Amino acid sequence: MPREADHTAYIAIGSNMDAPAENCIEAANSLNDHPAISISSRSSLYETEPFGKSDQDWFVNSVVEVTTRLSPEHLIEACLAIENEMGRSRDEKWGPRIIDLDILFYDDFVFKEKNLEIPHPGITERSFVLEPMNEIAPDFVHPKLKKNIETLLAEIPNPQQANRLSSDS
């Protein structure tokens, strides 16, 4: 298990309740305020159609690249703490949410446990993750599929609509 050194992770941020863009910015700032997490790059904000459950408001999504000394397990704990602080409730799979933070990648690490899988499953079907990730790390190679983000984005079978909102998150 990786520890005691700087690691690069990519975290997806999404919201479709209240003020989604502001929620995403607040979550990114909260990540950056953590003493063991530093944001090295932020994507623009994207307005994206819902995935998995279409009868809800569109989402605002972004991806941040972070440098951290936290293990994957402690990084997800930090993400969950931010979600809780922002009022996240888990009432319905793929349902509306005030904030959602998911670890997409952690270095080239492959890991699966009950509550954490890295790389995040389903990345290859989700343009709302790949669009913003492609903006900041198009050449990052998926450690299991051995394809870069730009290629994965081009290969999505049924892409969701993703419209760039801003680059000043």
Q: Where does the chain show beta strands of DSSP type E?
A: 7-15, 37-42, 45-48, 59-68, 100-106, 111-113, 116-118, 162-166
Among residues 98, 35, 37, 27, the alpha carbon closest in space to that of 72 is found at: 37
pLDDT, tens digit (0-9, with 9 covering 90-100), for 126-160 = 999 999 999 999 999 999 999 999 999 999 988 88
For this structure, is 33 an active site residue? no
Task: Please tell me which residue in 100, 108, 164, 168 is annotated as part of the active site.
Answer: 100
For this structure, is 97 an active site residue? yes
8 A C-beta contact, residue 104 and residue 10: yes
Q: What number of CA atoms fall less than 13 Å from residue 26's CA on the CB side?
A: 16
Q: What is the CATH number of domain 7-122?
A: 3.30.70.560
For this structure, is 69 an active site residue? no
Q: What number of CA atoms fall less than 13 Å from residue 126's CA on the CB side?
A: 21
Whether the full predicted model's pTM is greater than 0.75, yes or no, is yes
* Domain ranges, ordered by start, for the chain: 7-122
> Would you say residue 53 has pLDDT above 80?
no
